Amino acid sequence: MALLSPLPTEPIGSIPRPLALIEARAAFLAGHIRQSELEAECLDAIRDTVAQFEATGSPVITDGEQGKFRDFASYSVEGLKNTRPGGFVLQFADGHDRPFPLLTAGPYRCAVHADRYLDLALQFTRRPVKQAVIAPSFQSLFYPANELPGYSREQFIGDLLAEHEAEVRNCLRKGAHCVQIDFTEGRLAVKLDPSGELLRSFIHLNNLALERFTPAERQRIGVHTCPGGDCDSTHSADVDYADPLPLLFELKAGSFFMELAREPDRLRVLRGVREHLRPGQRVFVGVIDVLDPRIETAEEVRDRVLEATEYIPLDQLGTTDDCGYAPFSDDVSTSRETAFAKIRARVEGTALASVALGFTRH
């Protein structure tokens, strides 16, 4: 029997890679296997990821970002000849960091558009597939502090917006259920600049991109925000959610995927969401703590969902995971088995909440 539920539920994106793909990537970088062999291993990983996603009962799935080999952001510039090491460094609370490349000359052209990953996932499923893309605001960090000779920052921003628009349009045209803009730097911006000016500039840039789409198209575009999640550590969990929330909902997106399960004061965050949420926006609240190795029960998830219904109207509420399970390729702190078990708990717990809210099986 099908459960009629007002509460949609979606994943964020990344799933830990199987060992065979991790080893194949290392062998490729060492020159021991050909690119075609690596691509074949990646396709096998996507096939298995899609099958395991479907087995959880998830109504919306992803490819697990199996082909984004370095991280959630660098796919757009990995391998470009006009980049070099030495760019922005993402610092995590446990002391480790993740460096990103720096542009050395124009023009800015993405090495890969994310619809390439969508094409592969759609081969293996008829379920709705969402596709994550990197935010323009994060891509803006690839441009150096000093202006590049013959390629101004203004020219760069124009190229960046054009590339982002093409990427999102391709995903929408090919049938993506949702295009999720990864905006992990939103909360981090407040940490880097407590005045809020950096965050405002990020919001402005992202809105310049969103304004290129019609209101109907923007209903299929969402924004993911979190304090980061890599090797069981975060980069900005010490930032009060109350600081970025008012500006966050100025983004002209249809959906917001928000980390919440790990927050020490969820009710305070929910009150902030209730205050700033706008008509036509839906919030997918995080009900799974992806950094906690313990697998939540469906009943725990149900209770977190019901808690959120006290603050967010049902027609503007959904559920998600706090973050991806492996946003960086070598993050194996969570196993594939644990990731899919947690996803199943989210799906089942959201269904239990729907029953508690009076929706029955038919």
Q: What domains appear along the chain, each with residue ranges and CATH number?
A: 19-356 (3.20.20.210)
In whole angstroms, give the CA distance from residue 91 to residue 268: 26
Q: For 201-224, how does the pLDDT look when each residue is reduced to its tens digit (9 = 90+)?
A: 999 999 999 999 999 999 999 999
pLDDT category, 331, cuts 50, 70, 90?
confident
List of residues 6+ apart from 118 with CB closer than 8 A: 63, 129, 131, 171, 174, 176
Asked if residue 91 has pLDDT above 60, the reply is yes
The pLDDT of residue 344 is 98
- Find where tokens 């020219």 sit: 155
Asked if residue 360 has pLDDT above 80, the reply is no
- Find where tokens 């209101």 sit: 215
Q: For 280-314, how does the pLDDT look when each residue is reduced to its tens digit (9 = 90+)?
A: 999 999 999 999 999 999 999 999 999 999 999 99
pLDDT category, 179, cuts 50, 70, 90?
very high
Q: For 143-156, how does the pLDDT look when each residue is reduced to its tens digit (9 = 90+)?
A: 999 999 999 999 99
The pLDDT of residue 3 is 44
CA 113 to chain centre: 15
The pLDDT of residue 332 is 83
Tokens of 14: 């990344």
pLDDT category, 333, cuts 50, 70, 90?
confident
Q: What is the pTM of this model?
A: 0.94
Q: For 10-39, how does the pLDDT look when each residue is reduced to its tens digit (9 = 90+)?
A: 999 999 999 999 999 999 999 999 999 999
